[in-house]
Amino acid sequence: MKPRITPETPLRSPSGETVWGSDAIARLLHALELPYVALNPGASFRGLHDSLVNDVGNREPQMLLCLHEESAVSIAHGYAKATGRMMGVVLHSNVGLMHGTMAIFNAWCDRVPMLILGATGPWDAARRRPWIDWIHTAADQGALVRGYTKWDNQPASVPAAYDALLRAAQMAMTAPRGPTYVNLDAALQESALSHLPPLPDPSRFRAPEPPRPAPELVARAADLLSRAAAPVILVGRGNRTIESWRARVALAEKLQARAITDLKQAAAFPTRHPLHVGPPGSFLSDASARAVREADVLLALDWIDLAGTLNQAYGNAPVTAKIVSASCDVHVHRGFSMDYFGLPPVDVNLLADPDVVVPLLLEACRARPQAPAGGAPPAEDRRGNHEVLSLRAVADALNEATDGVDVCLTRLPLGWPGECRHFAHPLDYLGGDGGAGVGAGPGITVGAALGLQGSGRVPLALLGDGDYLMSVTALWTATHYRIPCLFVVCNNRSFYNDEAHQERVAKTRGRPVENKWIGQRIAEPDIDLAALAVAQGAKGLGPVTEPARLAPAIAEGIRAVQDGLVWVIDARVRPGYDADISGERAARLERAARS
């Protein structure tokens, strides 16, 4: 997809004799067809900034100015979630990188590709300006993000920078995908070159085709699944193509296997399908846990935290089901964070991308004619008359307002009742933020909206007030570049998730539950969330307090987004959740299963 937003067109610059180090780097980024670079400016990359504007003309990549580096990274994250494509980010020296780190961690945990360019004051101390170049030069800047990037490098010459950028792009796009970081020395960017080192041809440095598992392993997996009495598919991370979606459905139908999905990852299987066991959540529902426990063969398609899921279903009892795993996630495990989760037992390990594996299994499996034992009841479809604006009431209003409209949910709030919204297409929902770093929602939504331009889908975020407030200035990038999207802020005027935690602690310790709001409530004064949108050129509506008023408000917002606006609705929801999101219930079930 080519950039669709109106570029800020620079005046033509006179063609001079001199070529600069950063010109060479900018031309390579152009050759890589990087569509956008999100950034907040800084002197450490003033050379590159000049080259992007004046040498390559602010086109491929086109700059997206962001008001905070965390938004810049989240925008690239959302863009990759919606399109599967990588865009760039430029972060200023150590300080810009520090601002971007949480969002980089989210992108890493979510396995999305991203080319992050960094910059440092001149490594050659003799070329540093007093004071500022010294505080903005770090001995090993990449160390700040090495634990949650696939690769980092600080090239010392233009040919080395070519190599680093090609490698960074290739590695970011090789599954399991993720962010890579190339730190560009300010002095290298600002060096005059006697000639432009010849640009390499990026088509010769592309990410490799994904590997296919050995045919004998596929045959063994297919045999296990075809002979199973109660097969279950844990449908985890998958791509956003309709072909892969259909292949998953075809496999489940051929095997008459029940399918379980999860809200941490994007829509990957139709939730209304009779084989789907729901509702999807951050943890297994009771019905899903039962299905896992009763399965004799489990097929895990890059399922996030397979060991934890087995634990929830089995407790301490031995895992009796045979397990087939299709995932290559093991290739990105690093020592810093535990996003590799517990070590699950696996009987057939297909070390490959699940969307490569599914069509192979579909071909190799024999059809199982019988219906699955105790097929899942269809997910709930009830609509209520709501007296208070609960998350369930928000879901009903959303369903009413989006009837017949193609919407892409770019974010769901904590405590979302998974049974209240169905997914029928891979772009119906983009999944969580990967690292559970609050503040990701606004940027991810703007980036996804950018990627969805021209698709006919309305980008729509339902997000917490805490999430919105942490990164609300991401909206300005959307209004400035005319990237339409709709935000429905589920405003409980609290970091409520943690009120629930304080309540649990108080109960355990016999202390007053009434104190749980202290240090949590975002009230007195209430923040005018709509005004924060208006201040940035978006339309802001609310607070909406009446349940009956929300559906018309969302419908109006959708029309506005279709007309090209950025629209925010402050929906005053009651504090409290309609789903278990703490994992405490899951842990209780696990303990019960153990005893």
Ligand X SMILES: Cc1ncc(C[n+]2csc(CCOP(=O)(O)OP(=O)(O)O)c2C)c(N)n1
464 binds Mg ion (CB under 5 A): yes
Cα separation of 553 and 375, whole Å? 38
Kindly tell me which residue out of 61, 279, 413, 443 binds ligand X, with binding defined by CB under 6 A: 413
Backbone angles phi, psi at 16, to 5 degrees: -95, 180
Q: How far is the CB of 496 from Mg ion (least distance, A)?
A: 5
Kindly tell me which residue out of 467, 478, 558, 561 binds ligand X, with binding defined by CB under 6 A: 467
Say which entry of ligand X, Mg ion, none residue 438 contacts (CB below 5 to 8 A, set by partner kind): ligand X
Backbone angles phi, psi at 232, to 5 degrees: -135, 135
Cis peptide before 179 (omega within 30 of 0): no
Mark residue 408 as left, alpha or beta (left: phi above 0; alpha: psi -120 to 50; beta: remaining): beta
Across 476-563, the runs of DSSP E, i.e. the strands, are 485-490, 539-544
Per CB under 5 A, the segment of 38-46, 90-98, 235-243, 458-466 that binds Mg ion is 458-466
Q: How far is the CB of 64 from ligand X (least distance, A)?
A: 23
Kindly tell me which residue out of 497, 516, 530, 569 binds ligand X, with binding defined by CB under 6 A: 497
Structure tokens at 553: 């408000």
Nearest Cα to Cα of residue 120 among 85, 154, 144, 89: 154
The conformation of residue 373, written as its DSSP 8-state character, comes to: T
433 binds ligand X (CB under 6 A): no
DSSP 103-155: HHHHHHHTT--EEEEEEES-SSGGGPPSTHHHHT--TTGGGGTGGGSS-EE--
**CB burial of residue 167 (10 Å; 0-12, 13-18, 19+):** middle
**Residue among 256 and 390 whose Cβ is closer to Mg ion:** 390
261 binds ligand X (CB under 6 A): no
Q: How far is the CB of 526 from ligand X (least distance, A)?
A: 13
Say which entry of ligand X, Mg ion, none residue 358 contacts (CB below 5 to 8 A, set by partner kind): none
Say which entry of ligand X, Mg ion, none residue 437 contacts (CB below 5 to 8 A, set by partner kind): ligand X
74 binds ligand X (CB under 6 A): no
x-or-dash pattern for Mg ion, window 216-255, by CB under 5 A? ----------------------------------------
Q: How far is the CB of 572 from Mg ion (least distance, A)?
A: 11
Nearest Cα to Cα of residue 275 among 362, 375, 381, 369: 375
Q: Which residues contact 131 (CB under 8 A, 6 or more apart)?
A: none
State the Cα angle at 401 between 396 and 403, rounded to 5°: 95
**Residue among 235 and 530 whose Cβ is closer to Mg ion:** 530
Q: How far is the CB of 293 from ligand X (least distance, A)?
A: 29
222 binds ligand X (CB under 6 A): no
3-state helix, strand, coil in the chain (%, to 5): 40, 15, 45
417 binds ligand X (CB under 6 A): no
x-or-dash pattern for ligand X, window 85-104, by CB under 6 A? -----------------x--
> Residue count at the site for ligand X (CB under 6 A)?
18
**Residue among 105 and 496 whose Cβ is closer to Mg ion:** 496
Q: How far is the CB of 492 from ligand X (least distance, A)?
A: 5
Three-state secondary structure string covering 48-90: HHHHHHHHCCCCCCEEEECCCHHHHHHHHHHHHHHHCCCCEEE
Are 386 and 392 contacting, i.e. CB atoms less than 8 angstroms apart?
yes
**Residue among 62 and 497 whose Cβ is closer to ligand X:** 497
Q: How far is the CB of 490 from ligand X (least distance, A)?
A: 7
Cα separation of 197 and 199, whole Å? 6
**Residue among 429 and 496 whose Cβ is closer to Mg ion:** 496
Structure tokens at 336: 């810093």
442 binds ligand X (CB under 6 A): no
Say which entry of ligand X, Mg ion, none residue 214 contacts (CB below 5 to 8 A, set by partner kind): none
Per CB under 6 A, the segment of 158-166, 308-316, 411-419, 479-487 that binds ligand X is 411-419
Say which entry of Mg ion, ligand X, none residue 288 contacts (CB below 5 to 8 A, set by partner kind): none
Residue with the shortest CB distance to ligand X: 464
154 binds ligand X (CB under 6 A): no
Q: Which residues contact 66 (CB under 8 A, 6 or more apart)?
A: 38, 39, 40, 72, 75, 443, 474, 477
**Residue among 49 and 421 whose Cβ is closer to ligand X:** 421
x-or-dash pattern for Mg ion, window 484-513, by CB under 5 A? --------x-x-x-----------------
584 binds ligand X (CB under 6 A): no
Cα separation of 158 and 168, whole Å? 15
Say which entry of Mg ion, ligand X, none residue 436 contacts (CB below 5 to 8 A, set by partner kind): ligand X
529 binds ligand X (CB under 6 A): no
Element (H, E) at 188: helix 186-189
Radius of gyration of the chain (CA): 25
Cα separation of 492 and 571, whole Å? 8
413 binds Mg ion (CB under 5 A): no
Mark residue 198 as left, alpha or beta (left: phi above 0; alpha: psi -120 to 50; beta: remaining): beta
Residues lying near Mg ion in the complex (CB under 5 A): 464-466, 492, 494, 496
Residues lying near ligand X in the complex (CB under 6 A): 102, 413-415, 436-439, 464-467, 492, 494-498
